[in-house]
Amino acid sequence: MLRVSRDIHTLVQSPRRGSDESEEGSVEDMDDIARTSSDSRKVPSAVRSYGASDCVRLRPINEDQFLIADLTKAMNVRQTSLEEARAGFGEQRGHLFLVADGMGGHRGGEHASALAVTLIEQFALNTLRWFMPLTAAHADSAVTDFQEAVERADATIVEAATKRADLHGMGTTLTLAFHYEAELLVIHVGDSRAYLFRDETLRQLTRDHTVVAEMVRRGELDMAEARVHRLRHVITNVVGGTEAGVQAEAHSLELRVDDELLLCSDGLTDMLSHAEISEVLCGEPDPEAACTRLISLANERGGRDNITAIVARFSAVPPTRGNATGNE
Ligand SMILES: [Mn+2]
C-alpha cells in the first residue's frame, strides 16, 4: 500500500534547490526513502513521543516552542434515552509534531514562534481533514492546505509585527510533521530540522534554508567551513520576518514499524553531529530517554542556544486494545 505517489513528490518544494548537500551530508531523496519502504507489510500506527525544550543560561528567553498533539474524533452525547450520557472517542488518531525557533529583538522571537504554533494548532483543529486516509489525492490537498496555513501564519506574523515597534521583523522557523496511519507529511521552513531514523541510519529529511547551506549546495563551501561560517545562522526563508512571503518545503513518506522521527531546533544540531545523534537514537529506544539524552548532550557541549527536540517512535498497533495508539 504505497501511497507516496509521484504526484506528492512534485509538491516537494525546496526554496533553494541545488545539489543535495547539507551541512552534515546529503539530504535524503524522498523518492528513495519511499522506494525502500514499499516492501514493508507492517503498518505502523501506534506512536510514542516525547518533546522537551531547554532554556540555556546564555539565552534566558526561550524563543523555541514545540507541540505534540493527538487528533482524535470526539462525540459528546448531550442527551439520550440510553442510561447515561457520555463522551465517546473515535479510534482514528492523527498526530501533529511541531518545532518552531523564533527570532527577532526583545521578545519578538518568542512571540513569533508562539503565534506560529497557535495558528497551526487552530488550522489542525478547524481546517485540516486529518481523519481522511492520505491517499495520493488527499495527501496532495493536505500538503497544499498545510502550505497555505504556513502562508497565512507568515502574513499574520508580519502584520502583527507592524503594530508594535518592539516586535518589528519577528519571525520563526517552523518544522512540522503530521502522522496518520502509515503516512507522514513534513512541512518545513527555516533551519530547524526533521530527521528519520530507520535501520540504524539517520536521514535528514529537510533542507536548511540558510545562506550557508545554499553555498554548500552550490559547492562553494564544504561542511567543515559551513559549521564555522559567520553567516551560518542567516535564514533565507522564514515564517514572518520583515516582509510577507514564505515557501514551505514539503515531503511525504510511508512509515515503517520502528521508524523514529526527530524534530529539533538548531540549538541541538549546532552542538551534535549526525553520528552523535545517531548513536543516541540507537542506544535509547525509548523516546523520552532519547530526547532527554540528546538535550543534555547538547548542553554538555556548551549549549549556546535554546535546545528543543521531539522524538517519536512508530510501531505496529499492539494486539490488545485500550490506549494503544495514544501518545505518552
Ligand atoms: Mn535556535
pLDDT for 98-124, tens place per residue?
Answer: 999 999 877 899 999 999 999 999 999
> Are residues 151 and 18 in contact, defined by beta-carbon separation less than 8 angstroms?
no
In a domain, 318, yes or no: no
Report the C-alpha gap between 39 and 62 in whole angstroms.
43
**Mean pLDDT, range 32-57, rounded to an integer:** 71
> Are residues 258 and 268 in contact, defined by beta-carbon separation less than 8 angstroms?
no
Distance between Cα 175 and ligand 1 center (Å): 13
Distance between Cα 94 and ligand 1 center (Å): 28
**Mean pLDDT, range 38-55, rounded to an integer:** 78
Distance between Cα 297 and ligand 1 center (Å): 16
Report the C-alpha gap between 113 and 239 in whole angstroms.
9
Share of the chain above pLDDT 70, in %: 83
In a domain, 131, yes or no: yes
**88 exposure class (CB count in 10 Å sphere: 0-12, 13-18, 19+):** exposed
In a domain, 298, yes or no: no
User: How many domains does the chain divide into?
Assistant: 1
In a domain, 247, yes or no: yes
Distance between Cα 173 and ligand 1 center (Å): 9
In a domain, 161, yes or no: yes
- Among 169-178, 220-229, 250-259, 280-289, the range scoring the smallest mean pLDDT is 220-229
The pTM for the full model equals: 0.85
Instruction: Look up the CATH number of the domain holding residue 133.
Output: 3.60.40.10
Distance between Cα 57 and ligand 1 center (Å): 14
Distance between Cα 114 and ligand 1 center (Å): 14
In a domain, 326, yes or no: no
Distance between Cα 151 and ligand 1 center (Å): 21
In a domain, 144, yes or no: yes
In a domain, 230, yes or no: yes
Residue 15: give the domain boundaries. 6-40+60-77+85-256
- pLDDT for position 4: 30
Distance between Cα 108 and ligand 1 center (Å): 14
Distance between Cα 85 and ligand 1 center (Å): 48
